[in-house]
Amino acid sequence: MERVILHCDMNNFYASVELLSRPDLKGMPVAVCGDPEGRHGIVLAKNQLAKDAGVITAETVWQAKKKCLGLQFVRPHHDRYKEYSDRINKIYLEYTDMVEPFSIDESWLDVTASQKLFGSGKQIGDAIRRRIKSELGLTLSVGVSYNKIFAKMGSEYKKPDATTEITQENFKELLWNKPVGELFFVGFATAEKLKNLNIHTIGDLACANPKALEALLGKQGPLLHSYACGKDDSPVCLFNQREKIKSVGNGITFRRNLTGLEDITTALTSLSDTVASRLRKYQMKCFGVKVDIKDPNFKTISRQKQLPVSTNLAADLKKAALEIIKSSWRLTDPIRLLTLTAINLTDETCEEQLSLFDAPAESREKGESIERTMDDIRKKFGNSSITFGQILDNDIGIDL
């Protein structure tokens, strides 16, 4: 039996959730922004009216105001987004237990075995759209296909509030004329490299020589070629599978040995950013940080530290990792490889008792808002679209 995969993508999710509690803004262009009063605040999300006026994610408040004079700004409320994300996924789970969240507002569903109960993939997608609109007051777009890649692209094909089916019979007609950068997992930098092989569309990529692609992009080249040809057999995970994650880490073998606090801090800035963003993607927090250090003679030490409160913020992970290194490593000694791992994981919604000595709630909320804004910018424009200034122009081998 051919697989039937849905990809459900909420429309203008943050802005739509905000408007549920702000009926006074109905019919007005709205943008969600971390600092609505600040000239240099960044647009995190926008509703359809603001999008139609040309407002884009990641531009500054003043740029957005110039495009849309009547634009209304609201602050983000991430607790509400998480609440609605949970409610949305509960609806998905009424159709299948194979629900794999990709982000707070996107999920894949494998409904292959659900068709006998609920109808075809398209019928299930339409039913889900109707329920979320009537029960939650939100809209979403659904892609239906025989693999995850094309299901994801189907949800992007027509917005808002639509279901698009991409089949083995029509995928060439629907997708091959689109710019290669629209293929899922092809970012801006990769698309620019592909132009060197005269590959401009998804169809060009599908017809390209896989060996030439491997020479240009490494292992990623043949993989992207297979995606363009409709060959993706990656499974949709069970919804509770993410709870089995025990740790989240990242390590780098550097182009040259790290020497001194400045090098170490630059490395930890990158590592903590990556680990924290992965924790947020998995909707997890950690109660501990582990650091592994390998010197040029391949001698390795491993140290860990427990945290007073759980976190998924890069600033907290970096601070803890620096404390570990300062207390267990002579800073003048060279480091060949450094690994930062978040351990003792918990669901990010778990309640906890805060200490009087913890950072003020307002400070933590501001930090979380900034880092989640970075998540959204990267989701839309690629991982290299925004980073920390300390990493720029580094010579230790951290790729942007």
CA distance 391 to 263: 10
Q: What is the pLDDT of residue 308?
A: 87
Domain 245-391 has CATH 1.10.3080.10: no
- Please name which of 66, 22, 76 lies closest in space to residue 370, comparing C-alpha atoms: 76
Task: Establish how many alpha carbons lie within 13 A of residue 80's alpha carbon, considering only the half-sphere containing its beta carbon.
Answer: 13
Q: Which two tokens stand for residue 215?
A: 């020479």
The per-residue pLDDT for range 16-58, each reduced to its tens digit, is 999 999 999 999 999 998 665 555 577 888 999 999 999 988 7
CA distance 279 to 285: 6
- The structure's pTM equals 0.69
Q: Which two tokens stand for residue 352?
A: 């906890």
Query: Which residues belong to CATH 3.30.1490.100 in the chain?
Result: 245-391
Within 10 angstroms of residue 194's Cβ, the number of other Cβ atoms is: 24
Helix (H, G, I), strand (E, B) or coil at 97: coil
Mark out the alpha helices in the chain (DSSP H runs): 13-20, 48-52, 61-67, 78-92, 115-118, 121-136, 148-157, 171-175, 188-195, 202-206, 210-217, 220-228, 261-281, 314-328, 361-381
Query: Which residues belong to CATH 3.30.70.270 in the chain?
Result: 1-165
Q: What is the pLDDT of residue 357?
A: 42
Region of residue 176 (phi > 0: left; psi between -120 and 50: alpha; otherwise: beta):
alpha
CA distance 245 to 146: 27
CA distance 308 to 149: 40
Residue 351 annotated among the catalytic residues of the structure: no
Q: What is the pLDDT of residue 24?
A: 94
User: Exactly one of 106, 323, 348, 351 is catalytic; which is it?
Assistant: 106
The per-residue pLDDT for range 243-254, each reduced to its tens digit, is 567 889 999 888
CA distance 348 to 333: 37
Q: Contact 82/349 with Cβ under 8 angstroms?
A: yes
Q: Contact 73/33 with Cβ under 8 angstroms?
A: yes
CA distance 67 to 45: 15
- Please name which of 11, 14, 28, 12 lies closest in space to residue 72, comparing C-alpha atoms: 28
Query: Which residues belong to CATH 1.10.150.20 in the chain?
Result: 176-228
CA angle 360, 362, 368 (to 5 degrees): 105
Architecture of domain 1-165: 2-Layer Sandwich (3.30)
Note down pLDDT in tens along the chain; length 400 residues.
Answer: 799 999 999 999 999 999 999 999 999 999 998 665 555 577 888 999 999 999 988 788 888 999 998 999 998 888 899 899 999 999 999 999 999 998 889 999 999 999 999 999 999 999 999 999 999 999 999 999 999 999 999 999 999 999 999 999 999 999 999 999 999 989 888 899 999 899 999 999 999 999 999 999 988 899 999 999 999 999 998 887 655 678 899 998 888 999 899 999 999 999 999 999 999 888 889 999 999 999 998 888 999 999 988 999 999 999 999 999 999 999 999 999 999 999 988 887 665 544 444 445 555 666 777 787 777 777 767 666 666 666 666 667 676 5
CA distance 217 to 117: 44
Domain 176-228 has CATH 1.10.150.20: yes
Q: Contact 176/206 with Cβ under 8 angstroms?
A: yes
